[in-house]
Amino acid sequence: MASLKALKLRIGSVKSTQKITKAMKMVAAAKLRRAQEAAQNGRPYAERLEAVMASLASRVGGVGASPLLAGTGKDQVQLLVVATSERGLAGAFNSNIVRAARRKAEELIAQGKTVKFYLVGKKGRVLKRFYPNAILADQEMGHIKTVSFEDARVVADDLVARFTRGEFDVAHLFFSKFVSALVQEPTGRQLIPVPLATDRAPKSGADAVVEYEPSEEDILADLLPRNIAVQIFRALQENAASEQGSRMNAMDNATRNAGDMINRLSIQYNRTRQAAITTELVEIISGAEAL
C-alpha cells in the first residue's frame, strides 16, 4: 500500500495536471470560434471553384487539354497529400487522418499501384514508420500561427512542379472536415487531375456554357494552379478548426478524468490515514492494558 506522503504527492501532481488541461481546453475553445468561422466562410468559394473545374474536366479532352485538367492518361503513380497538425494533444484528430490515408494506400497497393506520400505537418511523419521509402516530400508548417493562402500556394506550386516533372500521375488530398466541435470527419478527395463532375449539384450553374476571354489557355493556365491552392487552403482551414475542436474535447475529457483520479486518490488517502490512526490507537490501548 502506498504511503501517505506518496499519495499526497500524487494528488498534488494530478491537480497540477488538471489545471493545465483545463487551461488548454479554454485556449482551444477561444481559438475554435475563429477557426470555425474561417473554415465555414471559405467553403462556398472552394466548392464553387471545384464544381466549375469538374465541369470543365468533363468537357475538355484531347491533345490540347492541360494535364492538370485532363490528366496524363496514366494512373500508376499515386501521390497521397496528407495534411495534419504541427502539435499533438488533440485526441484522435491526427491519427484519424493518417488512418484514412493508410487505408487508401493499402487499397492502391493491392491494385498494383505505386504509392507516394507528400506530408504537410509534423504529425503526418508517423507514416515514415510504415512507408519509409515512399515519402516524396515533408513540408513543415511549424511557423504558422494562422492559416494563410500564401502557405497553401507554396505547397500547391511544389505539387504542380512535381506533377509537371512526371513524379506522379494522380494526387489525393487527405484532411479532416470540420462538422462540429464534437465531430470531425477524415476526408480524402482527388486533387490532381481535376475529378470529373457528378450529378450531385445540377443546379449549381457549373454546367453553363463558358466563353473564354482573352483565351482558354491563358485563363486555365492561371485558374488550374489556383484551384489546387484553394483546395489545399480549404483543407488547412478545415484542419485548423477540427484540431481545436478535437483538442477542446480531449482536454475536457482529460480534466474530468483527472478529477475522477483525484477523488479516488483522496478516498485512498483518507482510508490509509484512518487505518494508520486506528493502528496507533490499537497499539496505545494494547500497551495500556499490558501495564
Tell which residue, 83, 225, 78, 80, has the closest CA to residue 140.
83
Give the tens place of pLDDT for each residue, 174-185.
999 888 888 888
Please report the pLDDT score of residue 220 as a whole number.
73
What domains sit in the chain, N to C, each tagged with a CATH number?
4-20+251-290 (1.10.287.80), 32-247 (3.40.1380.10)
Please report the pLDDT score of residue 5 as a whole number.
86
AA identity, residue 51? A
Residues 163-186 as b or e (16 or more Cβ within 10 Å = b): beeeebbbbbbbbbbbeebeebeb
Give the tens place of pLDDT for each residue, 48-83.
888 877 777 666 655 566 777 777 788 888 999 998
Please report the pLDDT score of residue 202 as a whole number.
45
Residue 79 DSSP SS3: strand
pLDDT class of 272 with cuts at 50, 70, 90: confident
Q: In whole angstroms, what is the distance from residue 212 CA to residue 204 CA? A: 19
Q: Which three cell numbers stand for residue 248?
A: 477542446
Average the pLDDT over each of 23-27, 46-50, 79-83, 258-262 and give the range with the smallest value: 46-50
- Calculate mean pLDDT across residues 258-272: 90
pLDDT at 148 over 70: yes
Give the strand order in the sheet containing 135-139: 135-139, 114-120, 77-83, 170-178, 184-192
pLDDT at 201 over 60: no
Average the pLDDT over each of 77-91, 140-154, 222-236 and give the range with the smallest value: 140-154
What phi and psi values does residue 132 have, to the nearest 5 degrees? -65, -25
Q: Which three cell numbers stand for residue 265?
A: 486518490
Model pTM score: 0.80
Cα dihedral sign for 238, 116, 101, 119?
negative
